[in-house]
Amino acid sequence: MRTDVDIISHGTRLSAWHYTAESEALASVRGRPCVIMAHGFGATKDAGLEPFAERFAEAGADVLVFDYRGFGTSDGDNRQDVDHRRHRQDYRAVVAHARAMPGVDPDRIVLWGSSYSGGHVIAVAAGDPRIAGVISQGAAMDGLAAVLMIWGYAGPLQLLKLTGHALKDVARAVTGRRPHLIPIVGPPRSIAAISSHDGEAGYRTIMGPTFRNEMRARGILPILANRPVTQAKKLRMPVLLVVAAQDTIAPVSAVERVGRKVSGPVTVKRFDVGHFDIYAGEPFVNSVAAQVEFVQELAAVRLR
């Protein structure tokens, strides 16, 4: 059963879906576990997240799936502003909301992220030791490594062009003019934040009706500072890393470094697929099964 929920983050309404657990299989006297989910770079909650949420609810967990401020059906004046710092503030707001929900165990909150948000959940959990567990799928763990990957497939000129567009947008913001927008994803050699050979087809496969293929160009600049890998050692809760071994967007080496740095128990599930393949077909079936099992085991341990 899914209902619409409004959650306030820094004075702005976030649009969320609340999936109520379909059974009491994971319930305790304190309530049920709750999985908190958001999407990746410029993506929205209607872009392939529902099947994951449904599986968690079937297993006995509540689920909150939300859009960041300025994206999808959430409010926010700064529309299409991809900024990992704001996104993580929104995650924290949803965690606080979940902990106050009737029927939810505030000490069994599980963070779920994919692609860009796969890094967010590492950073958010690093600052909140009360988080029970983390699921990170096809994650962007190191902005520096991601920029080097772009250098590899598109060349230094592409990075210079993107930086120029970003600075143009910053200048427009300073002078109070309308933002300068660029596509989030585009074909190879195009001016877009993501222009890998499989990026455009991958986004087209999973994106929902509220996705807009545009972003404020200034969002290119914070990417270098987005380095969840540097915070991984602070995590002492269980972590599940789902690795897409053929990923051309989120460097796999950075995910592997996170796995070595996390202080708590780490489970790594590798699939020989690309970044977007994990959302459908057999890779999805196998991945979500491992994720559900992780939540079930985590919930059982917390009940002891």
Q: How confident is the model at residue 302 (pLDDT cuts 50, 70, 90)?
A: low
Q: How confident is the model at residue 140 (pLDDT cuts 50, 70, 90)?
A: very high
| pLDDT computed for residue 300 by the predictor | 81
273 part of a folded domain? yes
Average pLDDT estimate for 46-57: 97
Domain residue limits at 96: 2-142+226-303
199 part of a folded domain? no
189 part of a folded domain? no
To the nearest 10°, report the CA torsion of 170, 228, 148, 82. Answer: -30
* Interatomic CA distance for residues 293 and 304, integer angstroms: 17
* Interatomic CA distance for residues 39 and 208, integer angstroms: 12
- Total domains, the chain: 1
* Interatomic CA distance for residues 139 and 290, integer angstroms: 16
Q: How confident is the model at residue 304 (pLDDT cuts 50, 70, 90)?
A: low
Name the β-bridge partners of 104.
Answer: 32
182 part of a folded domain? no
Average pLDDT estimate for 9-35: 96
| pLDDT computed for residue 149 by the predictor | 81
Average pLDDT, rounded, for the chain: 94
Which comes out higher in pLDDT, residue 7 or 154?
7
184 part of a folded domain? no
98 part of a folded domain? yes
CA distances from 217 to 40, 80, 180, 220 (A): 17, 9, 6, 6
243 part of a folded domain? yes
Residue 36 pLDDT > 90: yes
13 part of a folded domain? yes
pTM for this prediction: 0.95
In tens, the pLDDT along 176-214 reads 999 999 999 999 989 999 988 888 998 988 999 999 999
Q: How confident is the model at residue 303 (pLDDT cuts 50, 70, 90)?
A: low
Average pLDDT estimate for 99-103: 97
- Here the CATH number for the domain that contains residue 294 is 3.40.50.1820
Average pLDDT estimate for 257-278: 95
